[in-house]
Structure 1
Amino acid sequence: MSETRLTKTVVDRLVPREKEYFAWCGKLAGFGVRVWPNGKKVFIVQYRTGGRGTPTRRKALGTYGVVTTDQARKSAEDYLASAHLGNDLVGAERKARSEMTVSQLCDEYLEHGVGLKKASTIKTDVGRIDGHIRPLLGKKKIGAVTRQDIERFLNDIAKGKTARDKPTGKKGRSIIKGGKGTATRTVRLLGGIFTYAVNQGYLETNPRTGVKLFKDGAKERFLSEDELARLSTALEEAETIGLPWTFRETAEAKHRPTSEKQREILSPHVTGAIRLLLLTGCRLREILHLRWNEVDFERGLLLLPDSKTGRKTVFLSDAALDVLQNLPRVGRYVIAGSNPDQPRADLKRPWQRIANHAELENVRLHDLRHTFASIGAAQGMSLQMIGALLGHKSPETTSRYAHLTEDPLRRGLNQIGQAINVSKTRDQDRP
């Protein structure tokens, strides 16, 4: 064991490795930090309940960044001093905690285990906890939950056991969806909650381990060259002559548009937002919440202070810069809405009108991001480059586009074959 005292400076210098590892304090035996491959660092205390051969107790003291090194050291000293007197505080806590219900564990997780998550992600977690986890497993003791329980939980959600659609007030509705996708994502969350319990020393193992999930049903829709051409035409018409209204022939005369109003010209901010989504590969909120002071025209960058993956720099093509330079400046947001002091909420209605006019079937705004990636792959970009442009943190996220890189590879392969040209001449080609 190193003689180095575990300090803030020492913890800061610990770098993640391929597998998790422990760094121990050289001055306080039993006090250390656990470093995970994703960079997360958790303080721990470890001791034996008696002499050699007796069970080892280990307890998580808190995540670095939420808990300071000095706070963790003080907690470790208390546990180790008690163990020296023959007490097993961790064992007693573990026994008491194993009696807590899944619902109580969820409450604790939402209070102490989501410190590194974004507010929008926490909101989604709360929906899945209240909609699926509490109704099916909430009353069960966490120490009694087995892998079989998790498998049954997965299948119950997939079959729609927790699905519902009912009024919650004068105008609101509570809609909880089932299905395989929802089941898979909820079990992943539940596994994370049980991982928190293991890290806190409440459980020895995670009951989610070994449970096979349904395949992720995420669908990537890419626009073809013909569809891109139709979209370009529809955007140009939307901001110039306007899009034609469609209405029901049976509608009352007073509710039907007059000849002067049978076309609607859309705001340049709407068409500009759609062009930016396609030209940057950004997510919808990244464009709708974009402020003018985050646009660096000189260097051709968007400097986003926050995104799904944290701070993010977006590189801009000349085409994207041209779109930005031609947008009218109304307030601090690039994509102005009805209130210049607030970001636009969405683009659902105008996008649907544009998509219908361009005859695009089953195309979501998010599919413009997929199209950006697919065009990059078709141009011969590597997955690493595509991931960097999209702002992916994990190579696994970009791997969904791996099959798209086959075309440039095959073109290159054919070029090599033509250059080598050692294939057997066909009979019909012989003189």
Structure 2
Amino acid sequence: MQAFIGASLLSSSAAQPKRKPFEIYDRRLQGFTLRVQSTGVRSYYARFGRNRRVVLGKVGTLAPEEARERCQKVLGHFAHGRHPLHGIGGTDAITLGMFIADTYTTWVKASRPRTAANTLEKLHRLFRTWYPEPLTAITLERIESWKARRLNAGRSAATVLRDLFTLSSVLRRAVTVGELTENPVRRVDKPRIDRRGKVRFLDQAEESRLRDALKARDEEMQKLRTAANERRQKRHKELLPRLTHFGDHLTPALLLSMNTGLRRGEVLKLRWACVDFDRRLLTVEGRNAKNRQTRHVPLNEEAMSALQRWREQSGSRRRLFDVATGFRTAWEKLLKRATITRFRWHDLRHHFASRLVQHGVPLNTVRDLLGHSSVAMSLRYAHLAPDQRREAVAKLNEKPLLALTMRLQWDGFPAGSHYRIDSMVEREGLEPSTPAL
């Protein structure tokens, strides 16, 4: 039903309660709605977008003219990309839950499509009790109290810091669109974390066991496939593809990760078009990289061989590893078989970087290969190159050059004489010169 929503309509029989709820749409202002409940409650609504609406107020507490004015503001805010309730009844009218549902969700899905679902799930899991509260109720003191409870409950500093960044993303967006004047998370005393702590990588014995377990796994799968094809052949059924080199995707994916340092997500999204066998180069596309920057990683002999054999076995499909579920189950079974504990797939990346540093590769080169935005991220591996630091400390065992030069001048040797020149003079039988007075 359409009508002009005003005082005359409210007093007429057309706007009185009936057996079922109904709505009256304003004839002049599209989106302005009067909803009449069977209980007798009558409320003003503003409708906008696709099946979205907000309550403006109830009949009796809000005059129709005021409700119409509020509706115009709501529709105007929505048209300009702001939260519909901005400035209506104070910013306290906008709760955290409303802002996440109406504004943040749309933005995060568009700007961070890969991580949006995880971010929204984490927000609901950690802060759902705050959803009914106004944005302005999320104060510095409240966040500090939440942080202290998390740390006291045994959560690591790194975990709490990541959770704070998630909340900060929402509040930062609220500042951007004008719902808050500041982001209180910025003033929170962030928990300190050791970014250069112990790095988990495989020792020689562990790496040997891992490779042996991979080989045994492939051989078992190949034997099972051969036996299965023999049975199928007897029954005149179509044979399954031969496993000529590997049992499945696990071995080539692991060898590639171990020799390139790629992240698991980067490995899963690799396309054959990104592999240049002629130049022995692998391209990680920016859209699949964590920092959105394309990088090129050289392929060593083992990585090249694994990819060539895997392509021969798997065919020329678009992706290298067309696996929807990833490697978790197979990976966990492999670790158990190799009797390796506390080692994640991501630690293969640490293993790659650690081996490079141990072989004397500069940290800046390691940074470039890993795709880190700054060398600070790669400093966690610095302790694995101890020879240079030992050499630096060993310099203290030698005589300082400046003091030695002064002593040589005093003893009659010219300035600029070679370091340890006194021993050389004795060896060559030279006579010291007389210093100028």
TM-score, normalized by the shorter chain, greater than 0.5 = yes
Q: Is this contact kept in 1: 2:219–2:247, CA < 8 A?
A: no
Q: Would the alpha carbon gap of residues 94 and 375 (structure 1) be closer, same or farther in structure 2, given more than 3 Å must change?
A: farther
Per-residue deviation, residues 158-217 of structure 1 (Å, max 9, x unmatched)? 566xxxxxxxxxxxxxxxx97655433221111222222223333332211332233448
* Cα shift at 1:403: 3.2
Residue 249 of structure 2 aligns to a residue whose secondary structure is helix
Question: Is there any run of 5+ residues in structure 2 with no aligned partner, and where?
Answer: 1-79, 81-85, 224-244, 402-437
Aligned to 1:230: 209
1:409 aligns to what? 388
The correspondence of residues 31-430 of structure 1 with structure 2, limited to 5 A, is: 93=87, 96-97=90-91, 99-107=93-101, 108-112=103-107, 115-117=110-112, 119-135=113-129, 137-158=130-151, 181-216=158-193, 220-240=199-219, 267-305=247-285, 306-315=288-297, 316-327=299-310, 328-333=313-318, 335-336=320-321, 342-405=322-385, 407-410=386-389, 412-413=391-392
- Count of paired positions: 290
Q: Could you say what secondary structure the match of 2:116 adopts?
A: helix
The answer to whether the Cα contact below 8 Å between 1:278 and 1:371 also exists between their aligned partners in 2 is yes
Once the two structures are superposed, what CA deviation does each residue of 1:144-164 show, in whole Å capped at 9, x if it has no partner?
32211011222344566xxxx
| Contact 1:335 1:344 (8 Å CA) reproduced | no
Offset from partner CA, 1:346-401 (integer Å, 9 cap, x none): 22232223222322121111111111111112122233211210112244433333
Structure 1 vs Structure 2 CA RMSD: 3.6
What secondary structure sits across from 2:282 in the alignment? strand
Structure 1 residue 122, shift from structure 2 partner: 1.1
Cα contact 1:94–1:202 (8 A) shared by 2 = no
The residue aligned with 2:27 is none
TM-score (norm 2): 0.57
| SS in structure 2 at match of 1:213 | coil
Indicate conservation of the 8 Å contact 2:261/2:369, yes or no.
yes
- Judging changes above 3 Å, is the alpha-carbon distance between structure 1 residues 325 and 141 closer, same or farther for their aligned structure 2 residues? same
Tell me the TM-score normalized by structure 1: 0.58
C-alpha change, 1:335 and 1:290, in structure 2 (3 Å) is same
- Structure 1 stretch displaced more, 125-134 or 189-198: 189-198
Q: Secondary structure at the match of 2:295?
A: strand
State the 1:320 CA deviation.
Answer: 1.2
In 1, Cα distance between equivalents of 2:374 and 2:109? 20
Q: Structure 1: which 5+ runs fail to align?
A: 1-74, 76-91, 161-176, 245-264, 337-341, 423-431
Instruction: Return the alpha-carbon distance in structure 2 between the equivalents of residues 292 and 332 of structure 1.
Output: 8
**Amino acid in the other structure paired with 2:334:** I
Larger Rg: 2
Maintained 8 Å contact 1:109/1:196: yes
Shift of 1:335: 4.5
Q: Conserved in 2, the CA contact under 8 Å of 1:292 and 1:334?
A: yes
State whether residues 297 and 321 of structure 1, in contact with CA within 8 Å, keep that contact through their aligned partners in structure 2: yes
Q: CA deviation at 1:278?
A: 0.5
Shift of 1:311: 4.7
| 1:314 alignment partner, SS class | strand
Structure 2 distance, partners of 1:146, 1:185, is 18
Contact (CA 8 Å) 2:272, 2:320: kept in 1 or not?
no
- Pick closer, same or farther for the CA change 1:206–1:285 going to 2, 3 Å: closer
The one-letter code sitting in structure 1 at the alignment partner of 2:201 is: F
Quote the Cα distance in structure 2 between the aligned partners of 1:211 and 1:418: 47
Q: Distance in 2 between matches of 1:243 and 1:414?
A: 54
SS of equivalent residue, structure 1 residue 361: coil
